[in-house]
Amino acid sequence: MEQKGVHLDQETFSCSICLDLLKDPVTTTCGHSYCMNCIKSHWDGEDEKKIYSCPQCRKAFIPRPVLEKNTMLAVLVEQLKKTGLQAAPADHCYAGPEDVACHDTVSAAAERTERQRELELSRQQIQQRIQDRDKDVKLLQQEVEAINGSADKAVEDTEKIFTQLIRLMERRRSDVKQQIRSQQETEVSRVKELQEKLEQEITELKRKDAELKLLSHTEDHTQLLHNYPSVSALSEATDSSSINIRPLRYFEDVTAAVSELRDQLQDVLTQKWTNVSLTVTEVDVLLPQPEPKTRTEFLRYSQEITLDPNTAHRYLLLSEGNRKVTVMREDQSYSDHPDRFTYWYQVLSRESLTGRCYWEVEWSGERVFVAVAYKNISRAGRSDECVFGYNNKSWALFCHEKYFNFWSNNIQTAVSGPPSSRVGVYLDHRAGILSFYSVSETMTLLHRVQTTFTQPLHAGLRFYTSVGATAAEFCKLKQTLVS
């Protein structure tokens, strides 16, 4: 039976970047080979985000791998250059009788020597891959140990923090109890003191009543008239005007105050717990999670946003639990505060944003800026340092009823995308990714920023003063779980 010959085409030994034969070939740990200069140039372009990938399979490497020339592959390429490469025949094409000339015959010993050399080359390649995989295994083992160590320390630290919180609550509980008991003792003592005075007065009055009764029965007129002045005089009565018949609450107000404190603490825990949970899930390892693509995946990182009244311009009205902003024509009489924007119609969120976060803004009117900014952005005055998108401390998407623009560091970038009254914002703080989406029945990427964030961010909104009936609201989103 005739067998199909083994053929090697040029593509097998070509670099997928420059499409030429491999020059100074190197092999990545995922098994793909490139010209050394080609893969170096490719990774140089990824230096900013510090995540390096294979151009073919997109496997990510952290940190940047150190490349070494694959000597076996280099030798093979050089030999193939000398001997020439055969064009690969079409699939299922077999040579028939007299189609080709007979090949030269060689001795079995010579053929064995050639095959032995090829086997040795294959073994060297396998051994090299084994070494590479051993390095990967050791690296992953180190990562496991680092994760375990970090998790153990986090558990220990959080236990200490929660213990401190519990002790603080215990101290406050003890303080309230002591204050109640102290006030109880004071009030009871005051009441008992008055009670004793009244009881003494009752005894004195009873004695006086007995004397008067006895005197009233005296038959001797002269004796009655003689004793009357001394017996009839009454001592000054104890002041009991403070005793009124009224419903008394005693310490019920204390219970109400403590209940209010409990409710406030529960609200704070509810608001902050989402951030704590997301921070735990955002632990970054060597195998980074892919960016979300569907709205369901984005909602996994949904972040509840509330606005800080102390930052709101005086003509901005906050409502819906400080989630909604409306531009007003009247001053809202906010108190003076150093965090308040004094000139620009802007407001920032109460929450600081780190890790992975996603939120949506529903807006109405003619135009609005959906922004993020560092907390230390300037507030007073009308300079560019105060305006979202006009400095290096903020990034803003300008939303018009007909188009979008992106602003950063006072540079405007045109954005193409379908107009929408709802904008989605995705932040991966650690990776330095900020993305804006047009949200309707589908999600359309409008603009994506790749940078390095040096501080926690705050969500923000900016409005034009001349536009009436303009409002924007941070939407309530239901967080989803994605396997």
Instruction: Confirm if 444 and 418 have CB atoms less than 8 A apart.
Output: yes
pLDDT value for 4: 45
pLDDT value for 6: 43
pLDDT value for 1: 43
Structure tokens at 87: 């064009």
User: What domains, with CATH codes, occur in the chain?
Assistant: 10-88+113-150 (3.30.40.10), 295-474 (2.60.120.920)
pTM for this prediction: 0.48
Instruction: Confirm if 404 and 397 have CB atoms less than 8 A apart.
Output: yes
Beta carbons within 8 Å of 373's beta carbon, 6+ residues apart: 348, 388, 393, 394, 395, 457, 458, 460
Phi, psi of 32 (to 5 degrees): -95, 145
Phi, psi of 362 (to 5 degrees): -100, 125
Question: What is the C-alpha to C-alpha distance for residues 172 and 265, in angstroms, rounded to an integer?
Answer: 13
Question: What is the C-alpha to C-alpha distance for residues 109 and 78, in angstroms, rounded to an integer?
Answer: 25
Query: What is each CA distance from 181 to 91, 186, 188, 225, 250, in whole angstroms?
Result: 96, 9, 10, 56, 12
The length of the chain is 483
Please report, in tens digits, the pLDDT of each residue of the chain (483 residues total): 444 444 555 667 788 888 788 888 999 888 889 998 898 888 888 877 778 888 888 788 888 888 888 888 888 888 777 776 544 444 444 555 545 455 566 678 888 888 888 999 899 999 999 998 998 899 888 888 888 888 899 899 989 999 999 999 999 999 999 999 998 899 899 889 988 999 998 998 898 888 888 877 878 778 777 777 666 666 666 666 556 555 566 788 888 889 998 988 888 887 777 667 767 766 666 566 788 989 999 999 999 999 999 999 999 999 999 999 999 988 999 999 999 999 999 999 999 998 899 999 999 988 899 999 999 999 999 999 999 999 999 999 999 988 999 999 999 999 988 889 999 999 999 889 999 999 988 899 999 999 999 999 999 999 987 555 689 999 998 765 544
Instruction: Confirm if 76 and 12 have CB atoms less than 8 A apart.
Output: no
